[in-house]
């Protein structure tokens, strides 16, 4: 079973809080996107005889379109790639899962502060979940290769729980009575606005977004309604931020 064994609701005393920690842009530097997508652009570019930049534009456009419509296949990169290839009149037979599984991921994809911080959080008695909108079939090999999986009770993904972070069903199976749930991440819409609406505490990692993929820019969600409980610049500030949140609750 992908989602771990049922959590013992009577065991709330064991932990200080439940931390839902985002992956891309929070703990790691977009390993899937940076490894697999250049391969996709290159292959399609060659087959269709159009510039790499144009292919990238078409893929981003297709993803953004799905994001705006909040479609369930908005992070299904195989489907996005196939759709764009079909539109260009070419056949796409590669599996992105296979590409990521066969890739040698550099340790550099993990932000240097990530592992020491996760270790510290576990020592302090927090229950950690990896909470990503990326699909399990893409993120699980990434976490295994980068040796990050061991820190988490489970990896929560849309294709395993049937919900993205904009739905309460994403978090609900993992909540425990008496334990404060906190979402930590870099995307304002998915890591702050929605979790706040569902009653979670939030820590926003506010750092400059350099990528062409920026959900916060594309999304039509009104972000003025919710504010993060704490804002930090880097994951290493997380333990202190969580302590502050918990202290304020007492």
List interacting residues with Mg ion (CB under 5 A). Answer: 22, 24-25, 186-187
Smaller CB distance to Mg ion: residue 7 or 21? 21
Residue 104's SS3 state is coil
Smaller CB distance to Mg ion: residue 63 or 186? 186
Smaller CB distance to Mg ion: residue 22 or 229? 22
Smaller CB distance to Mg ion: residue 24 or 76? 24
Shortest Å, Cβ 25 to Mg ion = 4
Which residue has the closest beta carbon to Mg ion? 25
CA angle 182, 185, 190 (to 5 degrees): 90
- Spatial CB neighbours of 192, under 8 Å, sequence gap ≥ 6: 183, 185, 202, 204, 223, 226, 227, 228
Radius of gyration of the chain (CA): 19
Smaller CB distance to Mg ion: residue 39 or 111? 111
Shortest Å, Cβ 188 to Mg ion = 10
**Cα distances (angstroms) measured from residue 31 to each of 27, 35, 105, 158:** 11, 6, 7, 18
Shortest Å, Cβ 89 to Mg ion = 34
Q: Are 139 and 32 in contact (CB under 8 A)?
A: yes
Eight-class DSSP state of 151: G
Shortest Å, Cβ 132 to Mg ion = 7
Eight-class DSSP state of 6: P
Q: Do you know the residue count of the chain? A: 250
Shortest Å, Cβ 30 to Mg ion = 8
């Amino acid at each position: 079973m992908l989602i771990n064994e049922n959590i013992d609701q009577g065991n709330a005393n064991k932990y200080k809080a439940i931390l839902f920690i985002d992956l891309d842009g929070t703990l790691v530097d977009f390993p899937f996107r940076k490894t697999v997508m250049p391969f996709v652009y290159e292959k399609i570019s060659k087959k269709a005889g159009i510039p790499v930049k144009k292919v990238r534009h078409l893929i981003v456009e297709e993803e953004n379109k799905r994001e705006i419509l909040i479609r369930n296949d908005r992070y299904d990169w195989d489907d996005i790639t196939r759709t764009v290839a079909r539109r260009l009149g070419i056949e796409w037979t590669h599996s992105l899962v296979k590409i990521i599984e066969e890739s040698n991921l550099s340790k550099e994809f993990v932000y240097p502060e990530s592992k020491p911080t996760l270790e510290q959080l576990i020592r302090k008695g927090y229950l950690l979940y990896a909470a990503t909108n990326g699909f399990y079939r893409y993120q699980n090999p990434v976490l295994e290769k980068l040796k990050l999986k061991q820190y988490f009770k489970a990896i929560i993904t849309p294709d395993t729980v049937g919900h993205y972070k904009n739905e309460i069903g994403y978090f609900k199976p993992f909540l425990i009575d008496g334990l404060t749930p906190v979402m930590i991440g870099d995307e304002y819409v998915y890591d702050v606005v929605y979790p706040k609406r569902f009653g979670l505490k939030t820590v926003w990692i506010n750092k400059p977004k350099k990528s062409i993929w920026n959900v916060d820019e594309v999304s039509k969600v009104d972000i003025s309604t919710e504010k993060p409980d704490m804002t930090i610049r880097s994951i290493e500030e997380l333990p202190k931020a969580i302590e502050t949140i918990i202290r304020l609750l007492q």
